[in-house]
Amino acid sequence: MALAIMGSGGDAPGMNAAVKKFVDYCFEVGEEPWLIYDGLEGLIDDRMKKAQHSDVAGILHRGGCVIRSSRSERFYEYDYRKQAFENLQKHGIGGMVVLGGDGTFRGMDRFCHEFPINFVGIPTTIDNDIYGTDYCLGVDTALNTIREALDRIYDTASTFKRAFVVETMGRECGYLALISAISSGAEVCVIPEVEFNRPVVEARLRQEIAEGRNYILAIVAEGTKMTEKIAGWLEVEMGFETRVTVLGHVQRGGSPSSFDRMMAFEFVIEAIQYLLTGEASDKIVVWKGGGFSLLDIDTVVNNKYRLNPLHLSMLNLLD
Q: Which domain, by its residues, includes 220?
A: 142-252
Q: Do 238 and 273 reside in the same domain of the chain?
A: no
Judge if 126 and 55 occupy the same domain: yes
Average pLDDT of the segment spanning 110-120: 92
Q: Are 55 and 39 in contact (CB under 8 A)?
A: no
Active site residue 134: no
User: Could you tell me if 39 and 11 lie in one domain?
Assistant: yes
Residue 166 belongs to some domain of the structure: yes
Instruction: Check: CB of residue 148 under 8 Å from CB of residue 115.
Output: no
On whether both 14 and 130 belong to a single domain, the answer is yes
The closest of 9, 77, 3 to 39, measured between CA atoms, is 9
Same domain, 117 and 74: yes
The helix/strand/coil state of 188 is strand
Q: Are residues 97 and 227 in the same domain?
A: no
User: At residue 319, does pLDDT exceed 60?
Assistant: no
Top-confidence residue, 189 or 161: 189
φ, ψ dihedrals at 177, nearest 5°: -65, -45
122 pLDDT higher than 70: yes
What is the pLDDT, as a whole number, of residue 290?
92
How confident is residue 281, by pLDDT bands cut at 50, 70 and 90?
confident
Mean pLDDT of the chain: 94
In a domain, 207, yes or no: yes
296 and 220 in one domain? no
Asked, for residue 228, whether it belongs to a domain, the answer is yes
> Cβ distance 125 to 12 under 8 Å?
yes
Q: Where are the alpha helices (DSSP H) in the chain?
A: 15-28, 39-45, 53-56, 78-90, 102-114, 139-160, 175-184, 198-210, 227-232, 258-275, 297-301, 309-315
Query: In which band, very low, low, confident or very high, does the pLDDT at 316 lie, cut at 50, 70 and 90?
Result: low
Of 127, 129, 260, 282, the active-site residue reads 127
Cross-strand partners of 292: 287
Indicate which CATH number applies to the domain containing 158: 3.40.50.460
Within a domain: residue 310? Answer: no
Whether residue 280 is predicted with pLDDT greater than 80 in this model: the reply is no
| Residue 99 neighbours by CB under 8 Å, 6+ apart | 5, 6, 7, 8, 12, 15, 18, 65, 121, 122, 124, 137
Question: Alpha-carbon distance 24 to 57, whole Å?
Answer: 10
What is the value of pTM for the model shown?
0.94
Residues 260 and 122 in one domain: yes
**Same structural domain, 113 and 7:** yes
Percent of the chain past pLDDT 70, that is, above it, reads 98
pLDDT tens digits for 215-229?
999 999 999 999 999
The DSSP code sequence of 3-71 is: EEEEE-SS--TTHHHHHHHHHHHHHHTT-EEEEETTHHHHHHHT-EEE--HHHHTT-TT-SS-TT----
CA atoms of 41 and 241, how far apart (whole Å): 47
Q: In the predicted model, what is the mean pLDDT of residues 274-292? A: 90
pLDDT, average across residues 40-57: 97
Q: Give 289-311 pLDDT, tens digit per residue.
A: 999 999 999 999 999 999 999 99
Instruction: Note whether 137 and 260 are within 8 A (CB).
Output: yes
- Residue 315 is assigned to a structural domain of this protein: no
The total number of structural domains in the chain stands at 2
